[in-house]
Structure 1
Amino acid sequence: MITEFLQALSTQSFLQMALIAGLLASLGCGVVGTFVVVKRITFLAGGIAHSVLAGMGAAAYYGFDPLLGALVAAILSALLMGWIHLHWQAQEDTLIGALWAIGMAIGLLFISQTPGYTSNLTSYLFGNILLVPEQDLWLMAGLNVLLLLLVGLFYHQFLAVIFDEEFARLRNVPVTFFYLLLLCLIAVTVVLLIHVVGLILVIALLTLPAAIAGHYVHSLGKMMVIATVLGSIFTSGGLALSYAPDLPAGPTIILLAGSAYVGSEIVRRYRAQRLARRSIASL
Structure 2
Amino acid sequence: MDNLIQWFSEPFQFEFMQRALWAGLAVGAVCAVLSCYLVLKGWSLMGDAISHAVLPGIVIAYALGIALPIGAFISGLACALMSGYIKENCRVKEDTVMGIVYSGMFALGLVLFTKIKTEQHLLHILFGNMLGIQDFEFTQTVTLSLIVFAIIIVFRKDFLLYCFDRSHARVVGLPVGLLHYGLLVLLSLTIVATIQAVGVIMVVAMLVAPGMTAFVLTKQFAQMMWIALAVSLSSIVLGILISFHIDGATSACIVLVQAACFVLALTFSK
Percent identity among equivalent residues? 27
Amino acid at match of 1:248: A
What corresponds to 2:129 in structure 1? 128
1:13 corresponding residue in structure 2? 15
Indicate how the Cα distance of structure 1 residues 8 and 56 shifts in structure 2: closer, same or farther if over 3 A, else same.
same
> How far apart, in 1, do the equivalents of 2:40 and 2:96 lie?
23
CA contact (8 A) 2:235 2:254 kept: yes
Task: Check conservation: 1:28, 1:192, Cα contact below 8 A.
Answer: no
Cα distance per residue 1:137-178 (max 9 Å; x no partner): 221222123213322332222122111111111112121210
* 1:160-239 alignment, distance < 5 Å: 160-239=161-240
The aligned amino acid for 2:237 is S
Q: Which runs of 4+ in 1 moved over 6 A?
A: none
**Residue in 2 that maps onto 1:53:** 55
Q: Which residue of 1 aligns with 2:67?
A: 65
Instruction: Give the distance between the partners of 1:156 and 1:5, measured in 2 at CA.
Output: 38
> So what's the TM-score if we normalise by structure 2?
0.91
Q: Partner of 1:250 in structure 2?
A: 251
* TM-fit CA distance, 1:76: 2.1
CA displacement 1:210-254 (0-9 Å, x = unmatched)? 111122333323322221221111111111101122111111111
Q: Distance in 1 between matches of 2:138 and 2:91?
A: 38
Equivalent of residue 43 in structure 2, options 41, 44, 47: 41
1:264 is matched by which residue type in structure 2? Answer: A
1:89 deviates by: 4.3
Please list every run of 5 or more consecutive structure 1 residues that lacks an aligned counterpart in the other structure: 270-283
User: Per-residue displacement from partner, 1:102-123 (whole Å, max 9, x unpaired)?
Assistant: 2222222333344342x33432
Separation of aligned partners in 1, 2:118 and 2:188: 28
Aligned-pair distance for 1:258? 0.7
Match of 2:264 in 1: 263
In the alignment, the residues of structure 1 paired with residue 269 and residue 155 of structure 2 have an alpha-carbon distance, to the nearest angstrom, of: 32
SS at match of 2:92: helix
Match of 2:95 among 93, 108, 115: 93
The Cα offsets for residues 9-32 of structure 1, whole Å up to 9 and x where unpaired, read as 21x211111111110111111111
Q: For the residues of structure 1 that align with 2:151 and 2:87, how far apart are their CA atoms?
A: 22
For 1:244, what is the secondary structure of its paired residue?
Answer: helix
CA contact (8 A) 2:26 2:146 kept: no
Bigger mean CA deviation after superposition, 74-83 or 22-31: 74-83
Distance 2:55 2:82 in 1: 16
Whether the 8 Å CA contact 1:214–1:223 is kept in 2: the answer is yes
Larger Rg belongs to = 1
Contact 2:11 2:241 in 1 (8 A): no
- Deviation of 1:204 after TM superposition, in Å, equals 0.9
C-alpha contact 1:23 1:235 (8 A) present in aligned 2: yes
1:57–1:108 CA contact under 8 A, matched in 2: no
Aligned partners of 1:89 and 1:200: how far apart in 2?
30
In structure 2, what is the Cα distance between the partners aligned to 1:130 and 1:148?
Answer: 23
2:33 aligned residue (7, 31, 34):
31
CA RMSD of aligned residues (A): 2.0
Is the Cα contact below 8 Å between 2:53 and 2:105 reproduced in 1? yes
What is the number of residues matched between the two proteins? 267
Which residue type is aligned with residue 124 of structure 1?
I
The answer to whether the 8 Å contact 1:61/1:110 transfers is: no
Structure-2 separation of matches of 1:80 and 1:99: 8
The one-letter code sitting in structure 2 at the alignment partner of 1:42 is S
Q: Aligned pair in 2 of structure 1 residues 95, 225: CA closer, same or farther (>3 Å)?
A: same
What letter matches 2:10 in structure 1? Q
